[in-house]
A and B are shown apart, each in its own frame.
Chain A
């Protein structure tokens, strides 16, 4: 985007009020946020609009089983084997429940 640079921005220096620091151990486990990483390839709600498989027709157990198989090297993949390794069992189950056909 193009911003007009000729106009000075009327910003006053203000003291930063530090937001409560986040503990390194507190991982965000919100299912919707975790699942939001998946939709860039698999489409909003897992309903892919293009050449990458949709996941919304699978049920939660099928999704979590496949994620574990990818993660554990038991299912061939071009890329999902790498991605799945980033998620633990609890995260996989939350994501699967989020997308799984109800």
Chain B
């Protein structure tokens, strides 16, 4: 196992570092031997359902403890109680299913989380709650009960709660779920701004989000990181490996019918195939394709 050191960069205490990170549930390894070093910016985590994205994010949000491996968050060891407390003071976390209490107003919920984050000054809390609710565009709904808000608005309330105190490390599990296109664009603005001061790690199923927002992308597969690099590099994985035809291709690793009725294929193209410009989706599909399993 490699020894973790302080993270390089402008701040010695910024970012995420993990080595040999492993988490098992029974006999299943949800995350297996993951090595990471993130030095700020927005980092996207892509992967199919069950690939280990949520478990990885929970480990990096101090919600779960690893069964093996080491983590350093903001230069600190979350397995040490006093350092974990310090990390949590500077961490924002949005879980996949926030499960907000519906009897609270948006303001009360965010204020509650501010209280959990040890902000005891009432006037500071009130201003901070108003600030983060405005950041997510809910300034006009802050005194409405959660139960009266749409799913997308509830997601924004949880996002606002995760932004309390301007965290240096923001871990977001599918933050764009339930948001309409306009809200997604606003979310990008908020996350880009946060990433200027720290690290934002977000999981998503949407390659468009990754292309628009992330400087780096991880693709999870079977609990391991199958790809770690730039979005452009992920797209280029499929360079020369995408082609279209009018009929199915049994030799392709993946094939699907496009909107114009043609077949698009991934894999090793046959001689004379009409090669296409790859997209991020193509690169992602190749990265998660298990070569041992026939398609």
**A pairs with B:** no
Question: Which residues of B come within 8 Å of A, CB atoms?
Answer: none
Question: Which residues of A come within 8 Å of B, CB atoms?
Answer: none
